[in-house]
Chains A and B, each alone.
Chain A
């Protein structure tokens, strides 16, 4: 490995000191000879492939917790596929010289990894702990190992893996304290109908309110997707009360909201990415998805992927204009299901923003909240939480007179 990135990057230098075998290939960090348990409980060595975020040839905080792997499918010491780590077969990070076999997904609760030392040691420990149990001493060469040869669990790191699976399993979460509102009302049984993995793409005014409502339901996990930073103006269209420190911290929206709502439940997984063609596969494990983004042209790859994966979705949008008489406009809630994906998409703007005095970006927190509530109510209808004998395609609420109109499927 070239001297400069390790010598100038404290996190990489520390990994070398602790006995990790590092090499750099393009923008990828390869960590070789990592012990793990392969199929048939055989202890093997594999290669972790980590995309490096560099500035001036020095590492900065990792942008993603997703890494790739070269090796067999990791298993636990018991011989089970290690689904808490392995998200999917096939690596994300590959080049002409590196062909990866799997993608791993583990992250500390409520945040991304602080640096590459934390990232590499977390993955190495998760895999190595199982190898160590079958082959004691195999992890001893790492400085991280204690006198008994057993690796310590990384401090303050509780993995929250994204398994990409709709099955109940690792990555699932739940409330930190009992939902006594539901038990008092005697609707605990209905909550089970909402037990699925939900995605929220876009944490602007409407998406943040969707999260505020979904987080209080019995969903198994909530995956948040947004690459933007939480800023002062966002506070005025989001639920709750952000402090001056919150709006000054420069956190990504996904991290801000995961942090806030992790006070109430686990299983909130932030993904600080803008979903496009290259990473739309991140949505594959969802059971349901709310699409709450302003970028109309950017919706195509999202809706393409959700539809091809047969994942039902609700897309929300508002069109408001300030006139001398006050604000006018409408809220839209559009439902895509396997029987209506194409028809639903015709109701959704996907072109560039209209250049017109009448189509300025007017939004208000109350209408963001209302649009979010309409979407969440519709999702609950779809899941049978609310009794309904119709299948909605598109609902419109006119702000000026409160009139609503819903198109349904035949």
Chain B
């Protein structure tokens, strides 16, 4: 797992208070990890802060799973 993936996972565990084992790439923040819409707003903010990236609202709306977040951030970092 990449360094980015590790860090994303850590942030998710911290913010949603879920078991690390549940934070699989396919896990949906809302359907699988118990987040509500405000939790996802806060998560995206935490990603922005941790990775020093800007995630515009239309992009944030498409981030539904752990993998979506990792992919988006990796793409931004690679650019």
Partners in one complex: no
